A = this chain, B = another copy of it.
Amino acid sequence: MKRTAFFISDGTGITAETLGNSLLSQFEGIKFNKITLPYIDTVEKARTTVERINAACAEDGEPPIVLDTIVDEEIRELLASSNGFKIDVFSTFLKPLEKELKTHSSYTVGKSHGIIEMNRYKDRIDSVNFALDNDDGARTQQYDRADIILVGVSRCGKTPTCLYMALQFGVRAANYPLTDEDMESPRLPEVLQRYRHKLYGLTIDPFQLAAIRHERRPNSRYASLDQCDFEIRTVERLFQQQDLPFINTTNFSIEEISTRIIAHTGLIRRLN
Protein backbone atom coordinates (compact mmCIF):
# COMPACT_ATOMS: atom_id res chain seq x y z
CA MET A 1 0.00 0.00 0.00
CA LYS A 2 1.40 3.38 -1.00
CA ARG A 3 0.28 6.86 -0.06
CA THR A 4 1.64 10.29 -0.84
CA ALA A 5 2.12 12.73 2.01
CA PHE A 6 2.74 16.46 1.64
CA PHE A 7 4.34 18.54 4.39
CA ILE A 8 3.62 22.15 3.51
CA SER A 9 4.85 25.35 5.12
CA ASP A 10 5.25 29.05 4.46
CA GLY A 11 8.68 28.78 6.14
CA THR A 12 11.42 26.17 6.22
CA GLY A 13 9.00 23.25 6.48
CA ILE A 14 10.96 21.77 9.36
CA THR A 15 8.09 21.80 11.87
CA ALA A 16 5.65 20.27 9.36
CA GLU A 17 8.22 17.68 8.32
CA THR A 18 9.28 16.73 11.85
CA LEU A 19 5.70 16.32 13.04
CA GLY A 20 4.65 14.58 9.82
CA ASN A 21 7.48 12.04 10.00
CA SER A 22 6.67 11.38 13.61
CA LEU A 23 2.96 10.81 12.96
CA LEU A 24 3.45 8.67 9.86
CA SER A 25 6.12 6.51 11.53
CA GLN A 26 3.24 5.18 13.64
CA PHE A 27 1.87 3.46 10.52
CA GLU A 28 4.57 0.94 9.84
CA GLY A 29 2.60 -1.05 7.29
CA ILE A 30 2.21 1.82 4.84
CA LYS A 31 4.88 3.11 2.51
CA PHE A 32 4.61 6.89 2.24
CA ASN A 33 6.02 8.96 -0.57
CA LYS A 34 6.86 12.07 1.45
CA ILE A 35 7.14 15.46 -0.21
CA THR A 36 8.13 18.60 1.73
CA LEU A 37 7.11 21.90 0.16
CA PRO A 38 8.67 24.86 2.00
CA TYR A 39 8.13 28.58 1.34
CA ILE A 40 4.57 28.23 0.02
CA ASP A 41 3.92 31.88 0.77
CA THR A 42 1.99 33.19 -2.22
CA VAL A 43 -1.42 32.41 -3.69
CA GLU A 44 0.28 31.41 -6.92
CA LYS A 45 2.50 28.83 -5.21
CA ALA A 46 -0.53 27.58 -3.31
CA ARG A 47 -2.41 27.02 -6.59
CA THR A 48 0.49 25.01 -8.02
CA THR A 49 0.57 23.02 -4.77
CA VAL A 50 -3.14 22.21 -5.03
CA GLU A 51 -2.52 20.92 -8.56
CA ARG A 52 0.30 18.68 -7.29
CA ILE A 53 -1.89 17.32 -4.50
CA ASN A 54 -4.73 16.61 -6.91
CA ALA A 55 -2.39 14.94 -9.40
CA ALA A 56 -1.04 12.68 -6.63
CA CYS A 57 -4.60 11.89 -5.60
CA ALA A 58 -5.48 10.85 -9.16
CA GLU A 59 -2.34 8.74 -9.45
CA ASP A 60 -2.59 7.01 -6.06
CA GLY A 61 -6.35 6.54 -6.25
CA GLU A 62 -6.41 7.76 -2.61
CA PRO A 63 -6.27 11.24 -1.10
CA PRO A 64 -2.73 12.25 -0.13
CA ILE A 65 -2.10 13.23 3.49
CA VAL A 66 -1.62 17.01 3.61
CA LEU A 67 -0.06 18.38 6.80
CA ASP A 68 0.54 22.11 6.86
CA THR A 69 1.75 24.90 9.12
CA ILE A 70 0.58 27.83 7.00
CA VAL A 71 -0.29 31.12 8.69
CA ASP A 72 -1.99 33.04 5.86
CA GLU A 73 -5.73 32.38 5.70
CA GLU A 74 -6.14 32.71 1.95
CA ILE A 75 -3.38 30.17 1.33
CA ARG A 76 -4.81 27.80 3.91
CA GLU A 77 -8.24 27.98 2.33
CA LEU A 78 -6.77 27.23 -1.08
CA LEU A 79 -5.00 24.15 0.29
CA ALA A 80 -8.20 23.07 2.02
CA SER A 81 -9.90 23.06 -1.39
CA SER A 82 -7.55 20.30 -2.63
CA ASN A 83 -8.44 16.61 -2.70
CA GLY A 84 -5.98 15.84 0.11
CA PHE A 85 -6.73 14.61 3.62
CA LYS A 86 -5.86 17.72 5.58
CA ILE A 87 -4.14 17.97 8.96
CA ASP A 88 -4.16 21.64 9.87
CA VAL A 89 -1.75 21.90 12.78
CA PHE A 90 -2.08 25.57 13.60
CA SER A 91 -5.86 25.87 13.49
CA THR A 92 -6.17 22.73 15.61
CA PHE A 93 -3.88 23.82 18.41
CA LEU A 94 -3.75 27.62 18.30
CA LYS A 95 -7.44 28.17 18.99
CA PRO A 96 -7.39 26.36 22.35
CA LEU A 97 -4.01 27.94 23.17
CA GLU A 98 -5.40 31.41 22.46
CA LYS A 99 -8.24 30.73 24.85
CA GLU A 100 -5.94 29.42 27.57
CA LEU A 101 -3.42 32.24 27.14
CA LYS A 102 -6.22 34.83 26.84
CA THR A 103 -4.56 36.51 23.86
CA HIS A 104 -4.57 36.37 20.09
CA SER A 105 -1.78 34.63 18.21
CA SER A 106 0.06 36.05 15.21
CA TYR A 107 -1.71 33.31 13.31
CA THR A 108 -5.09 34.83 14.00
CA VAL A 109 -3.92 38.31 13.17
CA GLY A 110 -2.28 37.04 9.99
CA LYS A 111 1.34 37.73 10.82
CA SER A 112 4.15 35.52 9.69
CA HIS A 113 5.89 33.27 12.17
CA GLY A 114 9.29 33.69 10.61
CA ILE A 115 11.17 35.66 13.21
CA ILE A 116 14.79 36.58 12.68
CA GLU A 117 16.64 35.78 15.82
CA MET A 118 20.10 37.19 15.50
CA ASN A 119 21.25 36.03 18.92
CA ARG A 120 20.11 32.53 18.27
CA TYR A 121 22.04 32.57 15.02
CA LYS A 122 25.18 33.86 16.67
CA ASP A 123 25.07 31.35 19.54
CA ARG A 124 24.71 28.58 17.08
CA ILE A 125 27.50 29.63 14.75
CA ASP A 126 29.72 30.12 17.79
CA SER A 127 28.93 26.60 18.94
CA VAL A 128 29.57 25.11 15.49
CA ASN A 129 32.89 26.93 15.29
CA PHE A 130 33.71 25.73 18.78
CA ALA A 131 32.99 22.12 17.79
CA LEU A 132 35.15 22.44 14.66
CA ASP A 133 38.02 24.19 16.45
CA ASN A 134 37.98 21.63 19.24
CA ASP A 135 37.42 18.54 17.16
CA ASP A 136 39.51 15.44 17.59
CA GLY A 137 41.76 16.82 20.33
CA ALA A 138 43.22 19.32 17.88
CA ARG A 139 43.26 21.99 20.56
CA THR A 140 42.75 21.77 24.27
CA GLN A 141 43.32 25.40 25.35
CA GLN A 142 39.62 26.21 24.97
CA TYR A 143 38.35 23.44 27.25
CA ASP A 144 37.58 26.07 29.89
CA ARG A 145 34.81 27.31 27.60
CA ALA A 146 33.46 23.84 26.76
CA ASP A 147 30.07 22.76 28.07
CA ILE A 148 31.04 19.13 27.56
CA ILE A 149 34.01 17.12 26.27
CA LEU A 150 33.25 13.82 24.58
CA VAL A 151 35.92 11.14 24.87
CA GLY A 152 36.19 7.84 23.05
CA VAL A 153 38.12 5.91 20.42
CA SER A 154 38.43 7.01 16.81
CA ARG A 155 35.18 6.68 14.79
CA CYS A 156 32.82 6.03 17.67
CA GLY A 157 30.61 9.00 16.77
CA LYS A 158 32.19 11.91 18.66
CA THR A 159 32.34 14.48 15.86
CA PRO A 160 28.79 14.15 14.46
CA THR A 161 27.44 14.22 18.03
CA CYS A 162 29.36 17.41 18.83
CA LEU A 163 28.14 19.07 15.63
CA TYR A 164 24.55 18.04 16.24
CA MET A 165 24.64 19.37 19.81
CA ALA A 166 26.02 22.65 18.47
CA LEU A 167 23.50 23.07 15.65
CA GLN A 168 20.41 21.84 17.46
CA PHE A 169 21.03 23.08 20.98
CA GLY A 170 23.87 25.60 20.83
CA VAL A 171 25.89 23.47 23.23
CA ARG A 172 29.67 23.95 23.07
CA ALA A 173 30.97 20.42 22.73
CA ALA A 174 34.63 19.50 22.29
CA ASN A 175 35.91 15.99 21.68
CA TYR A 176 39.11 14.19 22.52
CA PRO A 177 40.11 10.90 20.89
CA LEU A 178 41.60 8.20 23.10
CA THR A 179 44.48 6.68 21.16
CA ASP A 180 46.72 3.66 21.57
CA GLU A 181 49.08 5.81 23.58
CA ASP A 182 46.39 6.85 26.05
CA MET A 183 45.52 3.21 26.57
CA GLU A 184 48.88 2.19 27.86
CA SER A 185 48.07 3.63 31.25
CA PRO A 186 44.80 3.21 33.11
CA ARG A 187 44.79 6.93 33.87
CA LEU A 188 43.11 9.78 32.09
CA PRO A 189 45.32 11.73 29.69
CA GLU A 190 46.81 14.54 31.72
CA VAL A 191 45.20 17.31 29.69
CA LEU A 192 41.76 15.92 30.59
CA GLN A 193 42.29 15.55 34.30
CA ARG A 194 41.25 19.02 35.37
CA TYR A 195 38.14 18.81 33.19
CA ARG A 196 36.87 15.48 34.46
CA HIS A 197 33.51 17.02 35.48
CA LYS A 198 32.97 17.89 31.79
CA LEU A 199 33.91 14.48 30.37
CA TYR A 200 31.39 12.10 28.83
CA GLY A 201 32.44 8.79 27.30
CA LEU A 202 31.20 7.23 24.08
CA THR A 203 31.54 3.55 23.41
CA ILE A 204 30.34 1.29 20.59
CA ASP A 205 30.05 -2.35 19.66
CA PRO A 206 33.49 -3.51 18.36
CA PHE A 207 31.94 -5.19 15.28
CA GLN A 208 30.23 -1.99 14.25
CA LEU A 209 33.40 -0.01 14.94
CA ALA A 210 35.39 -2.38 12.74
CA ALA A 211 32.82 -1.99 9.93
CA ILE A 212 32.94 1.81 10.16
CA ARG A 213 36.74 1.90 10.23
CA HIS A 214 36.91 -0.57 7.38
CA GLU A 215 35.17 1.92 5.09
CA ARG A 216 37.75 4.51 6.02
CA ARG A 217 40.91 2.35 5.88
CA PRO A 218 40.12 -1.07 4.41
CA ASN A 219 42.13 -4.05 5.69
CA SER A 220 44.21 -1.95 8.08
CA ARG A 221 45.24 -2.95 11.57
CA TYR A 222 43.22 0.12 12.66
CA ALA A 223 40.07 -1.50 11.24
CA SER A 224 40.75 -5.03 12.45
CA LEU A 225 38.28 -6.58 14.87
CA ASP A 226 41.12 -7.46 17.25
CA GLN A 227 42.24 -3.86 17.49
CA CYS A 228 38.68 -2.49 17.82
CA ASP A 229 37.89 -5.05 20.48
CA PHE A 230 41.05 -4.18 22.42
CA GLU A 231 40.39 -0.43 22.26
CA ILE A 232 36.77 -0.73 23.33
CA ARG A 233 37.57 -3.03 26.24
CA THR A 234 40.30 -0.67 27.38
CA VAL A 235 38.26 2.54 27.23
CA GLU A 236 35.23 0.95 28.89
CA ARG A 237 37.48 -0.15 31.73
CA LEU A 238 38.90 3.39 31.91
CA PHE A 239 35.40 4.94 32.04
CA GLN A 240 34.46 2.58 34.87
CA GLN A 241 37.67 3.02 36.86
CA GLN A 242 37.44 6.78 36.54
CA ASP A 243 33.74 6.75 37.26
CA LEU A 244 32.95 8.70 34.08
CA PRO A 245 29.43 8.67 32.65
CA PHE A 246 29.30 7.00 29.25
CA ILE A 247 26.85 5.85 26.60
CA ASN A 248 26.95 2.99 24.12
CA THR A 249 26.12 4.55 20.75
CA THR A 250 25.61 1.32 18.80
CA ASN A 251 21.84 1.36 18.49
CA PHE A 252 21.23 5.06 18.79
CA SER A 253 20.77 7.83 16.24
CA ILE A 254 22.75 11.04 16.63
CA GLU A 255 19.62 12.75 17.99
CA GLU A 256 19.27 10.03 20.60
CA ILE A 257 22.92 10.13 21.66
CA SER A 258 22.84 13.94 21.94
CA THR A 259 19.53 14.22 23.77
CA ARG A 260 20.40 11.38 26.16
CA ILE A 261 23.69 13.01 27.08
CA ILE A 262 22.00 16.37 27.61
CA ALA A 263 19.22 14.81 29.67
CA HIS A 264 21.69 12.82 31.75
CA THR A 265 24.09 15.67 32.48
CA GLY A 266 21.45 18.36 32.85
CA LEU A 267 23.40 20.52 30.36
CA ILE A 268 21.79 23.87 29.68
CA ARG A 269 20.90 24.44 26.04
CA ARG A 270 21.83 27.83 24.67
CA LEU A 271 19.07 27.66 22.01
CA ASN A 272 15.46 27.45 23.00
A49 contacts chain B at the CB level, 8 A cutoff = no
A195 contacts chain B at the CB level, 8 A cutoff = no
A241-259 residues with Cβ-Cβ distance < 8 A to B are 251-256, 258-259
Chain B residues with Cβ below 8 Å from A34 are 272
Whether A11 lies near B256 (C-beta < 8 A) is yes
Whether A26 lies near B253 (C-beta < 8 A) is no
Whether B69 lies near A254 (C-beta < 8 A) is no
A128 contacts chain B at the CB level, 8 A cutoff = yes
Cα–Cα, bound, A83→B257 (Å): 31
Q: Mark A113-135, 1 if CB is under 8 A from B, else 0.
A: 11111001100110010001000
A25 contacts chain B at the CB level, 8 A cutoff = yes
A97 contacts chain B at the CB level, 8 A cutoff = yes
Cα–Cα, bound, A124→B258 (Å): 15
Q: How far is the CB of A143 from chain B (nearest CB, A)?
A: 20
**Which of B25, B37, B159, B272 is the one whose CB lies under 8 Å from A115?**
B25
Cα–Cα, bound, A120→B164 (Å): 15
Cα–Cα, bound, A57→B36 (Å): 38
Whether B30 lies near A101 (C-beta < 8 A) is yes
Q: Which residue of B lies closest to A104 (CB)?
A: B27
* 21 residue pairs bridging A and B, Cβ less than 8 Å apart: A3-B101, A12-B255, A12-B258, A14-B255, A15-B18, A21-B272, A22-B69, A25-B106, A26-B94, A26-B105, A26-B113, A27-B101, A28-B115, A30-B103, A37-B263, A38-B263, A87-B96, A121-B254, A128-B160, A163-B167, A167-B254
